[in-house]
Each structure stands twice: as C-alpha cells, then as structure tokens.
Amino acid sequence: AQSVSQHNHHVILSEAASLELGCNYSYGGTVNLFWYVQYPGQHLQLLLKYFSGDPLVKGIKGFEAEFIKSKFSFNLRKPSVQWSDTAEYFCAVTGGGADGLTFGKGTHLIIQP
Amino acid sequence: DTAVSQTPKYLVTQMGNDKSIKCEQNLGHDTMYWYKQDSKKFLKIMFSYNNKELIINETVPNRFSPKSPDKAHLNLHINSLELGDSAVYFCASSPGQGKQYFGPGTRLTVT
C-alpha cells in the first residue's frame, strides 16, 4: 500500500524567508507526485506535479519541488515566501490509473508579516 | 465556468438522517472520486468511479454509497448519519495520470 509522510505539521515563517516542506512516500511502482495547496476556506489547488523527466519541477506562484528517487522524497521549496502563502500544503502520490490520490497529513504554513 | 461543482456547499443535519451530496464535472473526464477531509485536515479517498467500475476504500462504512447517473455526475449518498461523519467532502475528476481537479467541497455538520 502506498503512503505519504509529511514531516512538518506546522511551520511558521516570516515574510521573505525560504521554505522547504518535506515529503517522503512509499510506493512499489512508478509514481506520480503532487503538491496541492488549500487556502483558508477554499478547495484544493494543484501547485505542481511530477510524472517523469526532469526531477526538478516548477509550479505556480514560485514554488518548485525536487524528486529524489533514491530518497523517496519530493520536497517543496520556495526561495522567498509571502504572507499570501499562508495555507495548508498537501503532498500526494498515485500510481496512476483510477486508484486516486494518497495524501500526506498536510503542513499548516503560517507566514508572519 | 466551474469545472467541478458540488451542491450543497454547506449541509447541517441531525443524526440518523439520510442525505446526498451532488457532484458534476464538465471536463469530459472518465474518472471521478470522493474524498473526505476530517477536522484535522487529513484527506482520504473514499471512492473512485471509472466507466462504471467502482473502487471502494475498504475503510468506508457501507452507509456511504456513490451513485453515478451518467459520466458527468457522481453523487454521494449517506444513510443514517453519525456525528463522526461531520467533515468536508470533496469531489474530484481526472483525465488520467493521477492529475485531479477538485470541487469546492461540501461541509457536512451532523448534530
């Protein structure tokens, strides 16, 4: 069975700080990896995804993530965060097909002005 | 145009009642899903539905049943509601490769 582990459940940063949120997954086959963001009171939005190819993927709003196969990791980064980045961030994995996404427990990110 | 829509947005009901949440997608996708987000924000898949094939997460109580009248709709029916069913329920649709488009969610409160 696949699983996703997000190491940081709550992160508090000041504006302009650099961000890295950890994500490790467990899956026995080819994986598709995702980061989703959920702003307060809103639905999930896709930040970025990795299917294959360049392991460094760039997403919306200045976010990027690096797939490191040997470490089963897909960490999310942003060099300089803004107050508007305050949200819940979810790492997710799927093997494709119709088996749906397996989510990590989320990281609640608070950016202080 | 809303790609994935859900109704209602909020649903407050009493224990023991039966309720339905509707989901519609206008993206032409073959696969649709229901997820549950609990009070701790943890998201867990409940069902996936692809070309009339239903895949059920074995941890979902059989009080929950998805119903798909056609390819664009996947409704969630819940019987005998319990306090623990209070959560936000998200519908999603997918064109494949795991990419999913989520609806706005339905916040269910059982009193």
B93-110 pLDDT, tens per residue?
998 777 889 999 999 999
B8-63 pLDDT, tens per residue?
999 999 999 999 999 999 999 989 999 999 998 899 999 888 877 887 777 899 99
Question: Which of B100, B101, B107 is the best substitution to test chain A (most A C-beta atoms within 10 A)?
Answer: B100
pLDDT greater than 90 at residue A18: yes
Structure tokens, B100 = 């999913």
Query: A99 CA to chain B: closest CA distance, Å?
Result: 7
| pLDDT score recorded for residue A41 | 85
Hey, are the CB atoms on B53 and A98 less than 8 Å from each other? yes
Given a contact cutoff of 8 angstroms between Cβ atoms, the answer to whether A39 and A47 are in contact is no
A26-62 pLDDT, tens per residue?
887 788 999 999 998 888 999 999 988 999 999 999 9
SS3 for A71?
helix
pLDDT greater than 90 at residue A96: no
- List, as ranges, residues 42-101 from B with C-beta within 8 Å of A: 42-45, 48-50, 53, 55, 90, 94, 96-100
